[in-house]
């Protein structure tokens, strides 16, 4: 049931009275109960101040908005509108009034994004209108789910291919897409700087924009890599042969070993390529072939980055690495256990290597496998990132070998390895202690991750939002000492369950360093300890899905709005949060305090919900905070004039 403005305010006032009575009984804490009268007074004063302020802020009429702002609103409506009328939204807006009609049809930049979809009514007439009204400006083409290899509307677009700067194609299934005709043309895609191909299935192997139109440029090939997508081996070979300049990045996928050999042979002949990514279109990482490896190639490669997500023969991999050993700085490979033992030391000895990532696929354990027990006295000075992934939980020998390799990389800065499983066996306990000693000996280590269970950080303030996350603090007591040593330099922290309270006293000492805090699943009593005892003056981002903790934080901020003065982003999780009135009090008090104190208390810049909001609550959230625009979209952030960013995510 939709409520009017007055009805919603009355509803919220009554809700506040009922809620505060419930909270009075829920918070059985003498320290909190003593300040309830102050909460009532502050709440009433905030409501009066907000009402007076709203009376002085009349809504601006659309007629008074300048053309630039009105055009930005038009673009936002077209960007966030339903797909079925996205292409015709400007024509709908043009029927509102004479000014809007002149503005819409007189602004060519509004008509430069063309979306081809069979669901668009009168598609041919719509595309013709866009091409006419866009003038000579550069165009962006989006081609959605083509059911045929060549769409009939493309005949209208071919004369304008020289204007394209962005081309996005979404393919479904095994199809060949070609934006070309059979006749040579002097018009080409020379201005294309963005090519994105998104597919719903990994079986798409044929994609061409070069047939009779234009050769691909290296910039286009790089755009394919940036999109996170791969293209078939045959397509890569054709694209490289047609390239008119020097490509530097190649990302391709293979199904058979002969495709891998043939594509690598084509890539090796191009000296400008410095980055190669090999993927697989099959579910199995193993590639079978009867073709023998021709390891006679001796041409030096200038590759700086090599990513191979498939398990290839060791001879081939060693040959590629040896030929690019002097320039290779990033290596990401898949190795079975035998390959890992055979070439791991050789990989660590590469003089130019900075980052090494090794994935060991799950396989049948071999209990009688022998691992080296004595390692050479090798000090790797340039390796800074080492990541080893494996799931061989029963292979204690592999664990011991990985831990012994850590002595060869004393200067590594980022380390990610699987931890030793918690087990009563003496051998596993001994390995855990040895792992702890190896980690403590790494003086340059600033990021540690143990299979997603523990990450410790020591980085500068410029890397605040790119930091790893502490996933679990209730590990082993042996790691507690190391945790205490590094906690004073930690900037980002995430914990769950009872571990948050187990080390609450330690966090109280170093809470002033935290910038990001993520909390979940704590009891009311534990929540009181967290938000009352912890002083977080530099906290910028707070994430929680616990209603008890969020209610306590809102209560703290309502009473003391200068609490958490640096808070910029608040994210509320999936759980139900009934204390919305406290949330409103906190938010409104924050606004008043910000205006009074200036920059000492920061405004919330981003507010994220991962729960459904009723229509009346949406109205209350936007109506009581004037200038806050809302939009029901999981991928849209609205930037209103009041420096707020609100994203309403309706996923449960």
pLDDT tens track for 155-188: 777 777 777 777 666 554 444 444 444 333 334 5
Residue that has been written with the tokens 């049931």 in this structure: 1
649 — pLDDT class (breaks 50, 70, 90): very low
Mean pLDDT along residues 181-201: 45
Residue 637 has pLDDT above 60, yes or no: no
More confident residue, 434 or 98: 98
Looking at the predicted structure, is the pLDDT value of residue 268 above 60? Answer: yes
Confidence of residue 461 (pLDDT cuts 50, 70, 90): very low
Secondary structure of residue 358 in the 3-state scheme: strand
- Residues sharing a CB contact under 8 Å with residue 391, sequence separation 6 or more, in sequence order: 360, 362, 418
pLDDT (0 to 100) of residue 360: 84
CB count in 10 Å sphere of residue 545: 19
Higher pLDDT, 500 or 364: 364
Look up the pTM and report it: 0.50
pLDDT at 335: 87
pLDDT for 344 equals 86
Q: Is the pLDDT confidence value at 484 over 70? A: no
The highest-confidence range among 150-154, 177-181, 366-370, 402-406, by mean pLDDT, is 402-406
Q: Percent of the chain having pLDDT more than 70?
A: 39
Average pLDDT over residues 561-588: 68
Q: Where are the beta strands (DSSP E) in 172-274?
A: 177-178, 194-199, 207-208, 231-232, 249-254
- Nearest CA to 249 out of 274, 232, 230 is that of 274
Q: What's the pLDDT at 635? A: 31
Residue 215 has what pLDDT? 41
Question: Which of the pair, 23 or 586, is modelled with greater confidence?
Answer: 586
Say how far apart CA 307 and CA 357 lie, in whole Å.
9
Proportion of the chain in helix, strand, coil states, percent, rounded to 5: 40, 15, 45
- 31 band by pLDDT with thresholds 50, 70 and 90: low
Choose the weakest-confidence range: 216-225, 247-256, 425-434, 608-617.
Answer: 216-225
pLDDT at residue 451 greater than cutoff 70: no
Tens-digit pLDDT profile for residues 556-565: 776 776 777 7
Say which residue, 128 or 192, is predicted with more confidence. 128
Q: Does residue 394 or residue 157 have the better pLDDT?
A: 157
- Give the 3-state DSSP-derived string for 535-593, with helices as H, strands as E and coil as C: CCCCCCEEEECCHHHHHHHHHHHHHCCCCCCCCCEEEECCCCCCCHHHHHHHHHHHHHH
pLDDT at 376: 76
Among 388, 452, 385, CA closest to 412: 385
Band (272; pLDDT cuts 50, 70, 90): confident
What are the start-end ranges of the H helices in 27-122? Answer: 30-33, 36-55, 67-80, 89-94, 98-105
Task: Give the model's pLDDT for residue 283.
Answer: 39
Domain ranges of the chain: 1-64+460-652
CB 151 within 8 A of CB 143: yes
Provide, rounded to the nearest whole percent, the portion of the chain with pLDDT above 90.
Answer: 0
Looking at the predicted structure, is the pLDDT value of residue 91 above 50? yes
* Alpha-carbon Rg for the chain in angstroms: 30
> How far is it, in rounded angstroms, from Cα 393 to Cα 367?
12
Look at the block and give the residue holding tokens 């630039």. Answer: 68
24-47 as b/e, with b when 16 or more CB fall inside 10 Å?
A: eeebeeeebeeeeeebeebbeebb
> In whole angstroms, what is the distance from residue 321 CA to residue 303 CA?
9
Backbone φ, ψ for residue 546 (5° rounding): -105, 120
Chain centroid to Cα 399, Å, comes to 31
Strongest mean pLDDT among 48-57, 298-307, 440-449, 564-573: 298-307
List b or e across 280-317, with b for residues whose CB sees 16 or more CB atoms inside 10 angstroms.
bbeeeeebeeeeeeeeeeeeebebbbbbbebbbbeebb
Q: Lowest-confidence range among 98-112, 196-210, 350-364, 519-533?
A: 196-210
Bridge-based pairing state of the strands 455-457 and 447-450? antiparallel
Q: What is the residue whose two structure tokens read 């340059």?
A: 444
Q: Which pLDDT score is estimated for 425?
A: 46
pLDDT, tens digit, for every residue of 273-300? 777 877 764 434 444 444 444 444 667 7
The whole-chain average pLDDT of the chain stands at 62
Report pLDDT digits (tens) over 95-141: 878 888 888 888 888 888 877 776 666 777 888 888 888 888 887 77
pLDDT (mean) for 33-59: 66
Residue 312 has which token pair? 């290839």
620 neighbors 583 (Cβ within 8 angstroms): no
Identify whether the C-beta of residue 306 lies closer than 8 Å to the C-beta of residue 276: yes
Is 542 exposed, middle or buried (CB count within 10 Å of its CB: 0-12, 13-18, 19+)?
buried
* Rounded CA separation 273/249 (Å): 6
pLDDT for residue 642 is more than 50: no
**Given pLDDT bands bounded at 50, 70 and 90, which one contains residue 466?**
very low
Predicted pLDDT of residue 476: 30
The span from the CA of 449 to the CA of 470, in Å, is 8
Of 448 and 611, the structure prediction assigns the larger pLDDT to: 448
């Amino acid at each position: 049931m939709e409520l009017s403005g007055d009805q919603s305010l009355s509803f919220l006032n009554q809700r506040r009275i009922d809620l505060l009575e419930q909270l009075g009984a829920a918070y059985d804490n003498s320290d909190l109960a003593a300040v309830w009268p102050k909460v009532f007074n502050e709440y009433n004063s905030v409501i009066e101040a907000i009402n007076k302020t709203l009376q002085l802020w009349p809504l601006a009429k659309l007629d008074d908005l300048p053309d630039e702002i009105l055009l930005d609103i038009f673009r936002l409506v077209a960007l966030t509108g339903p797909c079925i009328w996205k292409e015709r939204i400007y024509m709908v807006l043009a029927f509102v009034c004479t000014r809007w009609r002149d503005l819409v049809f007189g602004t060519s930049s509004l008509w430069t994004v063309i979306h081809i979809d069979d669901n668009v009514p009168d598609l041919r007439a719509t595309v013709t209108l866009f091409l006419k009204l866009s003038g000579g400006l550069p165009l962006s083409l989006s081609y959605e789910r083509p059911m045929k290899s060549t769409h009939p509307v493309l005949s209208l677009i071919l004369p304008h291919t020289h204007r394209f700067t962005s081309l996005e194609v979404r393919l479904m299934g095994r199809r060949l897409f070609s934006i070309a005709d059979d006749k040579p043309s002097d018009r080409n895609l020379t201005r294309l700087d963005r090519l994105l191909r998104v597919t719903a299935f990994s079986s798409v192997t044929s994609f061409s924009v070069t047939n009779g139109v234009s050769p691909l440029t290296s910039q286009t090939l790089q755009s394919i890599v940036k999109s996170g997508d791969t293209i078939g081996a045959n397509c890569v070979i054709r694209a490289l042969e047609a390239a008119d300049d020097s490509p530097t990045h190649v990302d391709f996928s293979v199904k058979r070993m002969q495709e891998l050999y043939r594509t690598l042979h084509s890539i090796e002949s191009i000296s400008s390529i410095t980055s190669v990514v090999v993927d697989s279109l099959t579910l199995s990482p193993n590639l079978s072939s009867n073709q023998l490896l021709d390891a006679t190639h001796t041409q030096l490669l200038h590759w700086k980055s090599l990513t191979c997500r498939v398990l290839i023969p060791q001879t081939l991999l060693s040959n590629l690495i040896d030929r690019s050993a002097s320039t290779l700085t990033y290596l990401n490979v898949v190795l079975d256990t035998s390959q890992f033992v055979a070439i791991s030391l050789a990989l660590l000895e590469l003089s130019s290597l900075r980052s090494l990532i090794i994935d060991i696929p799950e396989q049948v354990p071999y209990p009688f496998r022998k691992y080296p027990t004595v390692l050479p006295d090798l000090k790797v000075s340039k390796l800074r990132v080492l990541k080893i992934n494996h799931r061989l939980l029963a292979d204690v020998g592999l664990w011991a070998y990985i831990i012994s390799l850590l002595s060869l990389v004393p200067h590594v800065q980022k380390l990610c390895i699987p931890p030793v499983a918690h087990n009563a066996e003496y051998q596993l306990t001994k390995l855990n202690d040895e792992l702890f000693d190896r980690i403590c000996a790494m003086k340059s280590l600033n990021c540690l991750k143990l299979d997603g269970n523990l990450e410790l950080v020591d980085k500068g303030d410029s890397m605040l939002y790119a930091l790893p996350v502490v996933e679990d603090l209730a590990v082993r007591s042996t790691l507690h000492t190391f945790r205490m040593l590094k906690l004073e330099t930690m900037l980002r922290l995430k914990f769950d369950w009872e571990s948050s309270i187990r080390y609450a006293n330690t966090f109280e000492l170093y809470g002033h360093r935290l910038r990001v805090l993520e909390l979940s699943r704590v009891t009311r009593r534990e929540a009181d300890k967290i938000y009352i005892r912890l002083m977080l003056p530099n906290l910028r981002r707070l994430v929680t899905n616990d209603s008890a903790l969020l209610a306590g934080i809102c209560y703290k901020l309502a009473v003391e709005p200068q609490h958490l003065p640096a808070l910029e982003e608040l994210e509320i999780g999936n759980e139900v949060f009934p204390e919305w009135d406290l949330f409103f009090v906190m938010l409104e008090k924050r606004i008043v305090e910000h205006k009074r104190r200036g920059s000492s208390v920061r405004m919330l810049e981003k507010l994220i919900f991962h729960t459904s909001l009723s229509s009346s609550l949406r109205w209350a959230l936007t109506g009581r905070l004037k200038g806050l625009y809302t939009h029901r979209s999981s991928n849209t952030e609205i930037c209103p004039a009041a420096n707020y960013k609100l994203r309403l995510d309706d996923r449960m």
